[in-house]
Structure 1
Amino acid sequence: MGLATSFLMGNGSPTTQMLNLITGSLYSSFVEKETDTFPQFHQAFLDIFNTFNSALPGKHYDVPARPEVKECFDKWKESTDEAKRKKIFVDFIKEKVKLNEPHKSTLITGIVTPPAAMVAKKAGERVPALKLIKVVPDVLFVPSATFLALISVKVSRKVFHNRMLKKDQEREQQTNI
């Protein structure tokens, strides 16, 4: 998995020819769609990422933030020349589009959880109150436990991040007063 994008990206940075080919084909599929208003522009932009990420196995690319796309749209609307519009689009893609990298806690959880789930299942089989755990096959138990652990890590990281943002906003409001 990811062999195609690894081949495309080489040692981490794409070759100029490959990047021109990719951005050119993205632009041609982008121009085919109606992009007169920002919602249409944003939808066309999201469609490109959806197509691109679903077509390539392995590595995925993060969509830039909505304000950044809005800024690109404003530059896009100001320009009437098709060559300038393509340059704006290609420069935006080159500058703002980044590879999606999983968080370290997600990777560690994905590695540590399967053996821990097996140990927990074996220990739980010896507890009389948990006799039902023997009925669940290892093939179902381990992936389910791993999946639940990954979800809990993602949710807890999101909650922690939101709390930190809220505290930062409160501090900023207090310093502005």
Structure 2
Amino acid sequence: MIGFAHIAIRPMLARLVALGLLGAVGAGPVFSGLDADSEIEAARARLDRAREQAARQPGVPPLTAADGDALLAAFRARLEALAGTGAVVIDGTLIEPDPARPALPRLRATLRGTAEGLHGLAHAVETGSPLMAVEEADLTVERPADAEIGRPTLMRLAFAARGVVTGKPAQPRRAP
């Protein structure tokens, strides 16, 4: 009987092994199909992002000039245009070359005005056209408010931004 039992089990074991092999062979395409689905979804997401980016309006151009003097003049003109809309006075502007990045000199400005005027100017500098990347800013109280005579707080804003020189490198210089 033991011999007969082994004979009856062999075909069943062969069938189980064959079924296991068929399952393993059939699982390969299923798993690769799942991988393909995830790759298709990732490609669709990239395509959607590319379409959104293409649909957006072009970026704001940076503040550029052919040389350092022209860049400082453009910076000063931009600040004067923005200061004219609020209660802001420009005390001084200067250009500082950066030896590590000669095409991207640092532009410094010192301004006085009301908190609202300086806030509006700072917001316009960072978001308006032409774009200036503000690297540092220092806001201090120049004179406190006086409620008795109706005088607002006078603030001082000193900031440094970057501009782009497309020609010869900038030289240190103050604007008149």
TM-score of the pair, normalised by structure 2: 0.24
Larger strand share, 1 or 2: 2
TM-score of the pair, normalised by structure 1: 0.24
| Higher RCO (C-alpha under 8 Å, 6+ residues apart) | 2
Larger helix share, 1 or 2: 1
